[in-house]
């Protein structure tokens, strides 16, 4: 692997001066903001490789990817699409990732199995900011990436301006590899800056080699100089040649580009149109000649060295007919169906082509395959013949914290068990989706990354598991407390036939400082309430707290039992428990009950140009700004810390994203309970009472 050899002219006749002979299969991911054209680009790449006879379309519902019903209905990618092909005798797999920021978890885990990423960018400088989280992730995880500026058939901005906008969000230098040839407003071809050859686009066919047009020569020369000078920053040999005015050999330039890409030092930039099939051969060529081999990727990801079979799992999912499938990248060795791997037997070995599982007899280094029925295997694990290595320390991304919640219940009551079982499968597949039970409001909460993310889960419950659910806005976990102390004497006396019931207590009910919960103090003297019933009094008082006079759980209250009476025959635990509840129910309304609302400490992160908008957003949501600072590790971003009521957090992410071209995010933690009075409190209380 990695042997240098000279290749003959290939395909469309563009000479490749130097190339590595790579035998292992390689894997590329297509990522980028939604609708940038990733799924269409996959069609174009597969068409060029001969893996598709006809190019499908996302809008017509004929693309290889996006075949799930929820994807077709929305004309968007809702989970990673997998495909494989061979191109000029080399094997490739592709992962076309969803663009929605709400599905970032799927993207991040997929990227832990690829040699290179093609970032598909829209050609509008104003939309480039939407790529900031993607670039940040690629930069942080040092994943080699190539930028493909798509939709150039409809672009109105100059390439230079697009590049400048993109450079402002990329830590690595972007290196333009082509300049456009324009005829009027239209881009009709490009000049490759290394080979200095000019090409004219053909609709969904390979480009024609043409004479370099006169009008592009100056721009070509300037751009080529810029490219070489940037490259020379990483290589002294190249720098020396430039200083001596020597022309470096293309082979040397290609070699340097490949090396720098493998080390994630630079980001090569290509452009074209997925829809028209423009620039596809050039992209294929960059992938082929410059993508690092899987051994390099394995080392980057921390796969321990060795000679034994090793594969890592990037995703698992449950399909109705096949059961659990684990998508894994084989790093070394040969894997056959039926082999033991990671302490389990591989029962079914497949290559994935869109919706199709194609049976494979074996898989070798670099292959991306689906393994059948490895029930105990989890994403992020390294599987070897010897067993499983979840301690292997593989690089694995952090799961994003939920920012949006829905309250769900099965549409048909009898589906309760089926619902929990199905959700367990969905949350295993996507750990950024979380199921929780809220004991205060007695709701089943589905938490995730946004409205689309959760609606997709609801759709999948129906399409894959045939469970219909009703989803609504969750209730806010209001509480209540008291502002004033009172003394309460209550007596419970019942004579039913022979044996009666009798309990009598004097209690003092007092407010406690915020956060202290419940305290019970026993100040009984002289046995007016005998020892053995004190526990029952405490128990009864506590039970009452589940629902106070306003209708919510009561907190921060102390109850002191200081006197009472008993009856030697009729008193019992039950009678004292009941009278304690009575004392609370009778006493609390006299203590000025007041509503408490949960307040969260929230840190909102946005590019600083949106900071002012976020200030207004926080004020409009009854928030209190605590301060702001530059976001650590994010150039040009701010972190705005504030207190926000839980009620206002519910759809915060939706408004925040719409204010910030989709990139704003927030972190949260519960902070304290705060009194809520006035009109809002009255509304909450009357809604609670109306709900009964
Ligand atoms: N004019 C033009 N339209 C394009 C191009 N590439 C994609 N489109 C169109 O843009 C729309 C979105 O394309 P997709 O390929 O689904 O985009 P995507 O990036 O996969 O979108 P998500 O997966 O939802 O993030 C479709 O209607 C495509 O036909 C292009 O190069 N030029
Ligand atoms: Mg797509």
pLDDT score recorded for residue 8: 34
pLDDT score recorded for residue 390: 61
Q: Tell me the CA–centroid distance for residue 51 and ligand 2, in Å.
A: 18
Structure-token pair, residue 151: 């939709």
Domain 405-472, CATH number (from 3.50.50.100, 3.30.540.10, 3.40.50.20, 3.30.70.870) = 3.30.70.870
Q: What are phi and psi of 221, to 5 degrees?
A: -65, -45
> Taking CB atoms and a 6 Å cutoff, what residues make up the pocket around ligand 1?
32, 34-40, 57-59, 76-77, 98-99, 150-151, 153-154, 273-275
Q: Tell me the CA–centroid distance for residue 62 and ligand 2, in Å.
A: 12
Distance CA 42, CA 54 (A): 12
Q: Tell me the CA–centroid distance for residue 96 and ligand 2, in Å.
A: 7
pLDDT score recorded for residue 17: 42
Domain 596-691, CATH number (from 3.40.50.970, 3.40.50.2300, 3.30.70.240, 3.40.1440.10) = 3.30.70.240
Distance CA 277, CA 55 (A): 10
- Ligand closest to 81 (CA) is 2
Ligand 1, from 30, 34, 37: best to mutate by most atoms within 8 Å of Cβ?
37
pLDDT score recorded for residue 16: 44
pLDDT score recorded for residue 15: 40
Residue nearest to atom 27 of ligand 1 (CA): 59
Question: Residues whose CB is under 5 A from ligand 2 (ion)?
Answer: 38-39, 77
Q: What are phi and psi of 163, to 5 degrees?
A: -65, -40
Assign domain 3-298 to its CATH architecture: 3-Layer(aba) Sandwich (3.40)
596-691: same fold as 405-472?
yes
Distance CA 262, CA 185 (A): 36
Strands (E) across 411-495 are located at 434-438, 443-448, 469-472, 479-482, 486-495
pLDDT in tens, 258-315: 999 999 999 999 999 999 999 999 999 999 999 999 999 999 999 998 889 999 999 9
pLDDT score recorded for residue 441: 86
The residue count for the chain: 692
Distance CA 23, CA 424 (A): 40
Ligand 1, from 275, 276, 278, 283: best to mutate by most atoms within 8 Å of Cβ?
275
Structure-token pair, residue 222: 């300037």
Q: Are strands 486-495 and 310-319 parallel, antiparallel or unpaired?
A: unpaired
Residue nearest to atom 24 of ligand 1 (CA): 76
Report the atom number in ligand 1 closest to the C-alpha of 97: 23
The CA-CA-CA angle for residues 124, 128, 133, to 5°, reads 160
pLDDT score recorded for residue 392: 65
The residues spanned by each domain of the chain are 3-298, 309-389, 405-472, 480-591, 596-691
Distance CA 63, CA 203 (A): 18
All residue ranges of the chain with pLDDT < 70 are 1-22, 389-392
Report the atom number in ligand 1 closest to the C-alpha of 57: 29
Ligand 1, from 47, 65, 153, 274: best to mutate by most atoms within 8 Å of Cβ?
274
Residue nearest to atom 30 of ligand 1 (CA): 151
Q: Tell me the CA–centroid distance for residue 98 and ligand 2, in Å.
A: 5
270 with 283: CB under 8 angstroms? yes
Choose among 220, 163, 233: nearest CA to 189. Answer: 220
- Ligand closest to 101 (CA) is 1
Distance CA 501, CA 519 (A): 27
Q: Tell me the CA–centroid distance for residue 76 and ligand 2, in Å.
A: 5
8-state DSSP, 180: E
Report the atom number in ligand 1 closest to the C-alpha of 74: 24
8-state DSSP, 349: E
CATH fold of the domain at 480-591:
Ribosomal Protein S5; domain 2 (3.30.230)
Q: Tell me the CA–centroid distance for residue 273 and ligand 1, in Å.
A: 10
Q: Tell me the CA–centroid distance for residue 541 and ligand 2, in Å.
A: 58
Distance CA 410, CA 444 (A): 10
User: Partners of 147 in the beta sheet?
Assistant: 119, 269
pLDDT in tens, 121-172: 999 999 999 999 999 999 999 999 999 999 999 999 999 999 999 999 999 9
Distance CA 10, CA 93 (A): 21
User: Partners of 444 in the beta sheet?
Assistant: 408, 437
* pTM above threshold 0.75: yes
Assign domain 309-389 to its CATH architecture: Beta Barrel (2.40)
274 with 37: CB under 8 angstroms? yes
User: Partners of 83 in the beta sheet?
Assistant: 94
Q: Tell me the CA–centroid distance for residue 73 and ligand 1, in Å.
A: 15
Report the atom number in ligand 1 closest to the C-alpha of 150: 31
Q: Tell me the CA–centroid distance for residue 194 and ligand 1, in Å.
A: 29
Choose among 92, 140, 80: nearest CA to 116. Answer: 92
């Amino acid at each position: 692997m990695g042997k240098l050899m000279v290749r003959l002219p290939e395909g469309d006749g563009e000479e490749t001066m130097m190339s590595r002979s790579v035998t292992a299969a390689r894997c590329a991911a297509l990522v980028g903001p939604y609708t940038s054209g990733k799924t269409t680009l996959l069609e174009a790449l597969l068409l060029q490789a001969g893996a598709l006879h006809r190019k499908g379309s996302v809008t017509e519902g004929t693309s290889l990817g996006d075949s799930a019903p929820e994807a077709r209905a929305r004309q968007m990618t809702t989970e990673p699409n997998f495909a494989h092909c061979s191109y000029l005798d080399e094997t490739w797999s592709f992962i076309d990732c969803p663009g929605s920021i709400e599905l970032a978890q799927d993207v991040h885990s997929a990227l832990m199995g690829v040699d290179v990423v093609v970032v598909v960018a829209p050609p509008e400088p104003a939309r480039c900011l939407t790529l900031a989280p993607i670039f940040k992730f690629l930069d942080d995880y040092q994943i080699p990436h190539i930028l493909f500026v798509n939709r150039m058939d409809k672009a109105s901005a100059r390439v230079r301006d697009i590049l400048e906008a993109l450079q402002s969000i990329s830590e690595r230098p972007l290196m333009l590899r082509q300049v456009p040839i324009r005829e009027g407003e239209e881009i009709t071809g490009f000049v490759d800056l290394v080979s200095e050859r000019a090409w004219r686009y053909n609709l969904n066919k390979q480009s024609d080699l043409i004479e370099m047009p006169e009008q592009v020569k100056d721009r070509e020369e300037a751009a080529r100089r810029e490219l070489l000078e940037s490259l020379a920053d990483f290589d002294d040999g190249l720098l020396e040649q430039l200083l001596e005015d020597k022309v470096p050999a293309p082979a040397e330039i290609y070699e340097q580009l490949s090396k720098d890409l493998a080390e994630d030092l630079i980001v090569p930039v290509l452009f074209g149109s997925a829809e028209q099939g423009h620039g596809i051969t050039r992209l294929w060529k960059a992938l082929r000649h410059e993508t690092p081999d899987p051994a390099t990727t394995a080392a980057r990801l921390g796969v321990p060295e060795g000679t034994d079979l090793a594969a890592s799992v990037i995703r698992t999912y449950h399909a109705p007919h096949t059961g659990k499938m684990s998508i894994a990248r084989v790093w070394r060795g040969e894997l056959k169906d039926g082999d033991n791997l990671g302490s389990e037997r591989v029962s079914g070995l497949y290559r994935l082509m869109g919706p199709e599982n194609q049976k494979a007899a074996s898989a070798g280094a670099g292959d991306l395959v689906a393994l059948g029925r490895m029930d105990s295997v989890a994403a992020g694990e390294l599987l070897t013949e010897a067993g499983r290595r979840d301690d292997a320390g593989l690089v694995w991304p952090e799961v994003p914290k939920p920012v949006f919640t829905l309250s769900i219940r099965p549409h048909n009551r009898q589906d309760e068990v089926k619902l929990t079982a199905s959700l367990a499968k969905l949350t295993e597949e996507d750990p950024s989706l979380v199921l929780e039970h809220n004991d205060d409001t007695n709701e089943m909460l589905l938490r995730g990354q946004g409205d689309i993310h959760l609606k997709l889960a609801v759709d999948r419950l129906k399409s894959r598991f045939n469970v219909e659910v009703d989803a609504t806005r969750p209730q806010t976990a209001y509480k209540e407390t008291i502002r004033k102390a009172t003394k309460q004497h209550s007596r419970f006396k019942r004579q039913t036939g022979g044996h009666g019931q009798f309990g009598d207590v004097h209690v003092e009910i007092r407010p406690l400082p915020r956060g202290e919960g419940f305290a019970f103090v026993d100040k009984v003297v002289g046995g007016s309430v005998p020892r053995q019933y004190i526990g029952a009094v405490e128990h009864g008082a506590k039970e009452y707290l589940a629902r106070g006079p306003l209708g919510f759980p009561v907190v921060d209250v102390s109850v002191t039992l200081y006197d009472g009476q008993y009856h030697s025959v009729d008193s019992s635990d039950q009678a004292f428990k009941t009278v304690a509840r009575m004392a609370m129910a009778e006493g609390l309304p006299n203590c000025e009950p007041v509503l408490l609302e949960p307040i969260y400490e929230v840190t909102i992160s946005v590019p600083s140009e949106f900071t002012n908008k976020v200030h207004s957003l926080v004020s409009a949501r009854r928030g209190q700004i605590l301060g702001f600072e530059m976001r650590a590790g994010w150039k040009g971003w701010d972190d705005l810390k504030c207190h926000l009521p839980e009620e206002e957090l519910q759809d915060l992410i939706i408004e925040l994203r719409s204010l910030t071209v989709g990139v704003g995010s927030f972190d949260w933690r519960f902070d304290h309970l705060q009194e809520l009075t006035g009109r809002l409190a009255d509304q909450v209380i009357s809604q609670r009472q109306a709900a009964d």
